[in-house]
Structure 1
């Protein structure tokens, strides 16, 4: 049915990753396909990493730990953006094209009134991606 799952992750919010990553891994196990964890960072130091290379190592460690714990093939891809908060949607679409993923499984929040002014990343991605997007709340 699908051949590769892409799951965006924000290492600054690891506590919120579990449900989306678990969902992606469960679907990947069901279809016998790999998962690609995608992280977007900035070049400047952040609370997660001092530079993009350190961020990439952190994300790779999460991917390796997830693969080891689940038996599913999990790889990591790191992208650098000048302003990840505003470029995340376009960067995820680029990652979809780069990886050949045909399903995105990502965390999202319950809709609020504020979404009328600033739509959620998941909602925007689902509106603009040519592939299926599974939003996990």
Structure 2
């Protein structure tokens, strides 16, 4: 049913992504699918990495850990953007198309006050993507 699963990853908030990572691993094992972990960074130094190359290495380390922990075949897909915060929605949708994913599994959050000020990225991807989107809260 699924052959390529895309999972957007925020390497600074991995503690909040456990359910989504588990769901992706379970579905990947069930269907023999590949998992593509997509993460977006800026070209300037950040708290996570001083440059996009270091960021890509951290993503590769994360992917290796996921492959080992869950026994899935996963790949990293780092994206560098000039303004990740402003372009994240479009970049994630474009990545799904580029990977040719047939399922996107995204971690979500409990709705609350902040949704009145900021939109959720999962909503955008779910309404604009051409593939199935599974939001995990």
The TM-score normalised by the length of structure 1 is 0.94
Tell me what 2:127 maps to.
127
Number of aligned pairs? 137
Tell me what 2:84 maps to.
84
Q: CA RMSD in A?
A: 1.2
- 1:17-43 deviations in Å (ceiling 9; x for gaps): 222111111111111111000000001
Tell me what 2:47 maps to.
47
Identify which range, 57-66 or 118-127, moves more after superposition: 118-127
Tell me what 2:102 maps to.
102
Tell me what 2:74 maps to.
74
Distance 2:66 2:33 in 1: 14
Tell me what 2:63 maps to.
63
- 1:31-90 deviations in Å (ceiling 9; x for gaps): 111100000000111111000010000001110111012211010000011121121111
Distance 1:69 1:117 in 2: 37
Give the secondary structure class of the aligned counterpart of 2:79: strand
Q: Which runs of 5+ in 1 are unaligned?
A: none
1:111 shift after superposition: 2.3
Runs of 4+ deviating beyond 6 Å: none
